[in-house]
Amino acid sequence: MNGAFRIRLAAAWIEIRENLGRSTLQALGIMLGVASVLGGFSISDSQRRRADELFAKLGGFDKLNVMSSEAVKDGKPSALQTANLGLRFLDAEEGEDQKGSVVEAVSVTRNARSRVRSATADQERMVNGIGRDYLDLDGYTIREGRAISNEDFQRANAVAVLGDEAAKTFFPEGNAVGKTMKVGDIPVTVIGVLEERVFRFRKGQNNIFRRRNRIIAVPATLVSRRMQGDAYQRLDRVTFRVPKMEAMADFAKDLDGMLRANHRGQQDFRLDDVAARIRRQRSQGDVYNMIFMLSGVLALFGGGLVNVNIQMAALKERVREVGVKMAIGAGGKEIFKEFMTEALLLTGLGGLGGLLLGVGFSATITGVLGVPLYMAPISFVSAFLMAAVFGLLFALYPAFKASRLSPMEALRYE
């Protein structure tokens, strides 16, 4: 290309520099457009990133929950229903076996409300009967002592693991591990205390893990056998971790079939594919992205129209220059390229300025919202590309006009 583009670029730069006022005005339209698109994108990027962090802290979203639900909506349950109602530990085990290869972990829960007493406190509390990988799947970590083991679970040992708040409430003097508390009438030994969990979606918001710090976890078998005397060992919830996302749908289908068979055709359970649920929520987020993009597009459109006007006015001052260039041999194509090169440079500079402005803009907004700022690289790319498209699109008309000037008339133009 014998440096022709480089020279056009240099000439364009001179042109822009020499007409700073006009150029700034033109770049401003692009800049504001890019900034608003980028700002919009990064707000949703940041929210999304925050949501990802939340789910990571909740133990990931590669999970399938099975919840018990009432099969009987109205009226009295039939004998069959009374006999079979509910999710059982058997279901969890069979579910795990069913696709042994895709299930990485499984957890079970059976909750009960009970009076809980220690030397210093006496409260009506929710007691979480848990089993297997519950703590891990729900994102808990042990701070002191140990977790509830399989043996504890099998034997329905009277042991408990306390959340941070529960430990502080019932054993304010500390060192809860090894101490005893009463759950209902059962004396239970504290074997572990959990790390405090804190997550605020935005600064200044409540800790949304507050309730999780209140956990009083005992073996699920302790709840069902000893506290509730339930021969069926029914559960409130079973959770499977299936890290292979693509295997989830099949697994859920098979599990559904199996559970139905186990439950004699009764739909007394409900499946909740966490990842799918999040995807659904995200597609709502995409709507906001579209709205942000649209408002950015409108800004760019407005800026573009202004640019056409400015450029057409500027063309009047440059008719003679075009005439001279044509006289020494520049064809319409060359003139067109020169004008487009200017637009390219202006758009590029305006776009870069817009990205900077957009970062500031995003930082301010996320600051006000109290969400940590996160900007995805793709957002930069797409905001910039949009500007480029608009900048160049709206430069076409003036450039075309310039390229079609007749050399003689252009030379005579005063």
Does 2 bind another protein (CB under 8 A)? Our answer is yes
10 vs 56, beta carbon nearer another protein: 10
Residue identified by tokens 């804190």 is 198
Closest distance to another protein from the beta carbon of 307 (Å) = 21
Residue 385 identity (one-letter amino acid)? L
Query: Are 241 and 137 spatial neighbours (Cβ–Cβ below 8 Å)?
Result: yes
Q: Site residues for another protein, window 382-411 (CB under 8 A)?
A: 406-408, 411
Q: Site residues for another protein, window 241-280 (CB under 8 A)?
A: none
Burial of 192 (0-12, 13-18, 19+ CB in 10 A): buried
Encoded tokens for 325 = 């260039």
Q: Site residues for another protein, window 313-372 (CB under 8 A)?
A: 320-321, 323-334
231 vs 328, beta carbon nearer another protein: 328
Closest distance to another protein from the beta carbon of 318 (Å) = 10
Distances (CA, A) of 98 to 19, 91, 95: 73, 10, 5
Closest distance to another protein from the beta carbon of 3 (Å) = 5
Closest distance to another protein from the beta carbon of 381 (Å) = 33
Query: Are 340 and 410 spatial neighbours (Cβ–Cβ below 8 Å)?
Result: no
Instruction: Report the alpha-carbon distance of residue 274 to residue 248 in Å, rounded.
Output: 10
**110 beta partners:** 129
151 vs 414, beta carbon nearer another protein: 414
List the x/- string, 18-57, binding to another protein by CB under 8 A.
x---------------------------------------
Closest distance to another protein from the beta carbon of 333 (Å) = 7
Closest distance to another protein from the beta carbon of 330 (Å) = 5
85 vs 326, beta carbon nearer another protein: 326
Question: Strand 237-241 vs strand 186-194: parallel, antiparallel, or unpaired?
Answer: unpaired
83 vs 408, beta carbon nearer another protein: 408
For 30, residues 6+ apart whose C-beta sits below 8 A from its C-beta are: 300, 303, 307, 346, 347, 350, 351, 353, 354, 387, 390, 391
Instruction: Report the alpha-carbon distance of residue 144 to residue 213 in Å, rounded.
Output: 14
Reference 402, options 313, 328, 304; nearest CA is 313
Closest distance to another protein from the beta carbon of 339 (Å) = 15
331 vs 370, beta carbon nearer another protein: 331
Q: Which residues bind another protein (CB under 8 A)?
A: 2-4, 7, 11, 14-15, 18, 320-321, 323-334, 406-408, 411
